[in-house]
Amino acid sequence: MALTVHEDRPAGRHAAVPPGSRFRRIYAPRASDALAFSMSTYAMPLLVLTITSSASLTGLAFALEWTPRIAAFVLAGNVVDRRGAAIVCFLASLGRATVVAAAAVALTMLPRGTTETVVILVLAAVTGTLSQFGFVANEAVGAVVTRRGEARPDGIQAVLVGIDQTATVVGPLLAGFLLLAGPGWMLACLSAVSLFAAVLGLQTPPTPLRAASPDGAGKVGGLRAGLRTLVRLPALGWLVGGLACSNLALGLLQSASPVIVVETFGRSSASVGTMWSAAAVATLLAITCCRLVLSRLDLWAVGVVSATLASAACLGLPLAPSYVSYTILVALFMAGDGGLTVVLRTVRSMVIPSTALGATLSLTMLILLLPFPAAGVIVALTPPAHLGRALLACAVLQAVALVVTFTSLRSAPVLRLVADRR
């Protein structure tokens, strides 16, 4: 089935956002929400490890953090389609700020033990759910602006990915150092950043609204709409499938790294944050390179290079003899993953019709993030001494999946169409 690039450019209040207001209405809300997202994602398992010193509970925290996020995706897409991104950004960030602040107060009053651990595990689940509502809303805004803007579509998406990765530089590093001062300080900072994101979220541009289905199908209807759209877009389906396998390796890396860095290499929680911040810097450099080479190469070539880099680095991680070499390989892995993200987001923003934007975005994110709770379960069930073997198995799966994906996409029209539009 032939692929088409949808050109929905409604007039009136949905007109293109002027370049001068992009920072205030698009980039600033995205940056503040991404920082809160990054802090919560990387800090929760590390917080559990700091309090309990248990690798199993660390993996469980990662699984509990991601499982509600996945469950919330389809609902979040429908809410964005029917209520708009601005109100969803505001309520999700405000809710996260309130819950985190309450948890910070509770942790200062509770003694160390089971109750404190339960509070953190519940906090991980709740913040994960609320973070995904804000993430879906911001992705919808980015897709709409990409389609309606005057700039190159890959350029806008590269800026958005760059914002996310900049937050990934600051988030883990900030959370790691604040944890040295105490969990309360880290949670207080996360609450403040979330509150700031809530205020800025109300300024985001309007997104197309979809009327409620007459039968009240709700999230099931949204899932069907997203699935129908994805089936009609095979190139997007190949990319999502390949990157889902890659995300299993990424999820295992994220959930196992606190255990590996702290227990295997004997480093502190701050070293974990430093490692992820270094990886995010490498990703930013990779994204910058993508923006430069996309003026000469098509998305398929950029995707192949990124996939090769990510796969080779991941295959080398189980053999890393020291913290420094492990950090370097993680940075190379994340650099390749950043290039793959630019490719996916650019294709996704160009081919999904605006009438099914939220539902299809939610479905693709659902598929992409299903491996993360699975990775947390793997870490929870795997003895620390065998985490390297589990990572190697995931690295092999990632390499095979990416080879199959980009072999199948070699002649995909949409990858050439995106290049032609520049």
- When computed from its CA atoms, the radius of gyration of the chain, rounded to whole angstroms, is 20
CA-nearest of 133, 122, 167, 127 to 287 is: 167
Query: What is the CA 68 to chain-centroid distance, rounded?
Result: 14
Write the Ramachandran bin of 12: left for phi over 0, alpha for psi from -120 to 50, otherwise beta. left
Q: Which of 66, 60, 71, 59 is nearest to 40 (CA)?
A: 66
- CA-to-CA dists, residue 116 to 82, 123, 373, angstroms: 38, 11, 22
Residues in the chain: 422
CB 134 within 8 A of CB 33: yes
Number of Cβ atoms within 10 Å of the Cβ of 270: 17
Rounded CA-CA distance 169/416 in Å is 32
Residue 329: what pLDDT?
A: 94
d(CA 232, CA 204): 30
Task: Name residue, tokens 């003026």.
Answer: 295
> Cα–Cα distance between 372 and 95 in angstroms, integer?
23
Q: What is the pLDDT of residue 205?
A: 66
Q: What pLDDT score does 131 carry?
A: 86
Using a 10 angstrom Cβ sphere, with 0-12 exposed, 13-18 middle and 19 or more buried, the burial of residue 371 is: buried
| Token code pair at residue 40 | 């919560």
pLDDT at residue 149, as a whole number:
55
Taking each helix axis from N to C terminus, what angle separates 153-181 and 323-351, rounded to the nearest 10 degrees? 140
> What's the angle, vertex CA 400, arms to CA 397 and CA 406, rounded to 5?
130
Tokens encoding 28 = 């600033």
Instruction: Report residues of the chain scoring pLDDT below 70.
Output: 1-24, 73-74, 146-158, 205-223, 295, 354-358, 413-422
- Global pTM reads 0.69
Helix then strand count (H, E) for the chain reads 16, 0
Question: Do 86 and 136 contact (CB within 8 A), yes or no?
Answer: no
